[in-house]
Structure 1
Amino acid sequence: MDGASVGAVTSYTFSNVTATHTITHTIAATFAATTYTITATKGTGASLSPSGKITVKSGASKSFSIGSASGYLVSEVIVDGVSVGAVTRYTFSNVTANHTISVICTTQKSTGAATGAALSSTAVADAGPAQTVAGGSTVTLNGLNSTDAGGPGIASYSWVQTGGTPVVLSNPHASNTNFSAPSGKEGALNFNLTVTDNNGLNSTSNCIVNVVSNTMPPVANAGPDQTVGEWTIVTLDGSQSSGDISSYYWKQIDGPPVAISDPTLAQPTFVAPQTVGVAASMSFMLTVTDSSGLATTDICFVNVTWADLPPQAIAGFDLNANAGSIVMLDGSKSRALSGVAGYRWQQIEGAPVTLSSPVAESPAFIAHSGAEYGNTLTFRLILTDTTGMRSRANGTVVVK
């Protein structure tokens, strides 16, 4: 008042006014800083610091330290639904949105692989098919096609969401678990299933659930299986993938480790390794993501050999089936010059079903309808010969 502060009063009275006066009111506005949430989760044997739900101011950066407990190895770190490899540190820079980060570990003594040979003495996880659903629908994740053929039996299941809008699983430690798909936003939800047998050996498999409204997800195509000689420059080919693709990501699943030139290219290269014995087989997974965040995967095999021809998987003819009927898949026409070592059937698309035996030549299942985006079930047969080489073939069953 009259150039002097009288404090943060709510009223002021001029009494017995005998001169001109001035009064000025200053308002100080306070604005809450915009913040975002990074959801950090970790699987069995993994360490991630910090973890949980971390609040970050807009434009700030946040780093995470990644490691594993004794007896475990980091197999991959998944950021916003996409693997960034087995890194030991990851930083989100200039944060302007919510993010997720998840760390997945396997035991050092584990030899199980989701795409491995059927006659394994360790657990082989199968997280079930990719699914496309509407927001608000109830989704079932099916791990019952996991096996421990020749082993002591599966002791436990563990489901972990590794990407996408967080959901609540009905029972993360059951072979099958359910959740309600989030509404109002398209995007991919990523889940890992780890199965552990009674000897403590484990295996991890992943699946994607795409939540859609008006668009359908892209289609990943990892290209044909290849058979090459040692030291050959091999080109992985995802160029036939379709849809509004914004990113590619290649990851080696198993086999002798190789260095992929650039895993974010549609057609990266690597040098085939020297084999120990007659042959070696490697599998690679391609993940393609579109501009809406929807994603799908596909795999391919690269066999390295100097002698035998690879096996030929034949999944039989495409079938039509009535809901409630028993359907028999047929791999009996598959061929392998050196002899068949094992079969592995995987459902890769459609409403989940449970096979009578995923490692049988011709397993059966009960067909059921109810897939909101079509009743086509797609199955992959992986055939392994006695040299360890592999091939794959797909077949479909349309449920009426």
Structure 2
Amino acid sequence: MLKQIKRFIRTLFILMIFCWLQLQPAYAAMDVQGVIDTDTRWKIADSPIHITGDVRILKNTTLAIDPGVEVIFQTSPDPRQGYSIRIDGALVARGSQRQPIRFTAKDPSHPWGAIMFLDSSRDWDPDTSAGSIVEYCIIEHGGNEGSSAAMVSIFNAMPRIAQNAIRFSLTAGVSAFVSEDPAGISSLSGDIQILSNRIYNNATGIRFMAEGGIIQDNYFLNNNSAIDLQVRSNDVRIINNTVYSSAPELFGAGVRLLFDEVSSGIKSYQWRQTAGTPVTLSNPQSARTAFIAPDLDGNMETLSFDLTVTNKDGAQSTKTIEISITGEYPPPVAAAGANRNVQLPREEGVTVSVTLSGAGSSDPYLGIAAYAWEQTDGKPVKLQGADTIRPTFDVPDSVSAGDRMTFKLTVTNLGGLTSDDSMDIVYYDDNIFPVANAGADQTVLQGTTVVLNGTGSTDPDGGISSFTWEQTDGPPVDLLSANTAMPYFKAPTGNTAPETLTFRLEVTDNDGLKSTDEVSITVNGTLIAEITAGPVAAASGEMVVLDGSASIDQNAAANIIIQNNTLAADSAGAGLIALTAAANTSFIMNLTGNNLSAAENDGYIIYAYDWFDEAPPTIDMPDNWWGTVETATIENLIYDKRNNYRLPTIEYTPFAGREITDAGSSLPYPPLANAGVDLVSAADNLVTLDGSGSHDPEGIAVYRWEQIAGPAVDLKTADQAVASFIAPAGGDDGVSLEFKLTVSTDDSFSHSDTVNVTVTPDEALPKVDVGGCFIESARLTPANDSLFGKILSLFFLFIISAVSVAGVSYRLRKLVPAVFIVPAALFLISVPSHAGYFSVGGGAGGDADEVNMTLEIGAKDIDLNNFDMLFGIGMFFIPHSDNELPDGTFSLPCPNDDCSRLGNFRKGTGVGFFGKLGTEIGSSDFYVSAIGGFNAYTESRLSRSPATGRVYEDSSDSKVEALYGGGISYFFDYKWNIVIQLDYDNIRGGTGTIGWHW
């Protein structure tokens, strides 16, 4: 009993859980907008993800998206800019070959914005397989974001972009810039990797203004411009790509190269912290890095950082920067006052007292708690009130004119933070000493003209009468105008490391007093590490950005490699590869081993334009296949110095003699579905869906048609480019059906297009009239009876006719009149005859499978060689009516080949004639007869449409079939002369008639 109770409880519990699950709502789309500040994963159970506003992934936060997830950007109320995903942290969108992640628009006519990798986003690290990555994704119908001008935008970041389908962008598919400022010039570190993507049907495939990159194994199709490359780069490699363009773009339908400025030449950046509380540097191998200022519990600290840059030859340069970190409040500001000139006493024994003032010091947040003065230079003095705001001292007698003393003030606020400042006091007799000012220290490039500036020198009580400059340290230079306030020289060249040159300025006033100052000029090497930071002081919790993008290798040249690609343009007005250069650019270009072709050798394969340097050098492009071996044709495909003397000469020899087999991408061409135009059809008509306009140049596409809306139909050859179905009934208002064609060229990606089919309202079609007689066609077709039946029926008709004619001929002694008299006699003479009969009856069965009505007239007791014969002729009717035809049968052939045949059906009323020849058995008035004749009827061939269930009359023919059988007749000679007959034949079945005889 206990076991049964336990079993009952378990069963009840399971049922309760089941009911609870049934009542739970189904998964709905997840709406996302705003800030993502914790690590987040979008799972397949959350799909689709609806982006209902801008999304920002904060620094040190990761958004991971599982394979198969669909991210749908909703339509923004601002048509000028769609919703975007901005990444300060990391985006891991890593689909799979069978389950790509899709980023798309709810309404393709209103594109979304962009996936934006910002400077602080986490770069992809191939060694640890960590960082930002977009792989096996379908990215489509976006690019409506003003600052990025692309669906995937990279601002001084290095995500991995690989194995994606990037298509239908309003602007570019992928862009790489230095910053979100569209006026900024590129300054990215490292190599952005754009690998094995299908990039098609975008305004521009890739817009690239980056420090370096690899564009490899991509397939570009139907972009107005495939690759737009603004070069301020070390090495950009465009390798093994396939580019097909139909755009009439003269300035680079395939590749546009703008050599914009001198290359920075920096191959790698490395940031390191060298002092202070440890912090985490974002992207320490990028030109820009950033960190969050640490919390120092209100204290102040200086952090030091080194930037080491390496050029392509392996040479390095390092620069250090210090960042002051304050607490919650900034430190006080110490102000020791301006430098002063103090006059010595004219008479001995007179004491001069000097008062210092720190009254200019301030701290608006916490206030100053303490002052501390100290002497740091000059003949020592005894400070009175050194811990006050205004200390004093007496000038010793040993001080003479021209002596200098330096005092430092340190102030401390209530939070314990300090600040210091210094001031100088210079002593004089009658004439105040001039103050020499050689200007600020400078850092300059090799070979530049350096101007020294002593115009800041002053004389408080007169004027400067002379300037004298001399070099005191560093490689000697030729200092010109050394006796003026602003001499100049040319910085030396050839140094690989920075060198410092020191110059001393001596000024003399109008009374002959002199003063000196020094300035240092640092001449950088060819490789320069440069750091800018803003600000150099930061409070705890603030983000500090260190920027090394100004670092440069002065001897660098951009190295552009375009190799083993297949590039083709089929528009007569296109320029396949366009080249232009700004002034003073330095580059090396290696364009070799490519298949290059233009439509019917029209347009240009190479188009050079707007070359700003005079007499540009020749650009070599050897070992390419130009689609021809005719040199005159090749020269016509190149627009260079032969066309405009300001342009470089393109040297195309030697050239390949045939197409290069290993050039181009390894990817199949991008799938591009075209489901054809919308269609209109009537019910039961064959509708053909034609996807043959889909891009399938190599015939490897896989097609899949499916119905997505409307009454279900039987779709045939749904795995072919052309599919078909039979239109369903349109009803009173018509119906609409929608079909989707999906085309794929491998297991990775596909593309779909839709087509609408409108079925018009059903027409009032003519229906079969089944109430008439058998005469419904001009053509009589014999029924398909057996040969035996036909022969037998003809034989009986012949015997009956022959006997009748013979009998009449015997009596008339003439043959010809008998042929005409016998039929008339059977109907006219037999009635008044003393040996005639007439009967009426009916029956059912036989091949007609219907009831019949029979009229028969004839004669008996016809003596023929001692035999009493009977001869009769009858007419019968078989009223088939409409009971064999389905209701609403249309009197039209079925309009499609899918109709199934229902068979042959008789309609109307069949009419037949027969003859009867019998003999009497003895003298019993009992006759046994043979019957022969024919039946005329109308037969319809029907079929049914599987799409609508309608029945159609494919044909309607009048037919004749043979009748044969036998019967018995008995003539009663009583009060009533009655005849009773029973017949059986193949058409009527069993038939009984009754009548009278005379």
TM-score by length of 2: 0.13
Report the structure, 1 or 2, having the larger helix content. Answer: 2
Name which one, 1 or 2, has greater alpha-carbon Rg.
Answer: 2
TM-score by length of 1: 0.30
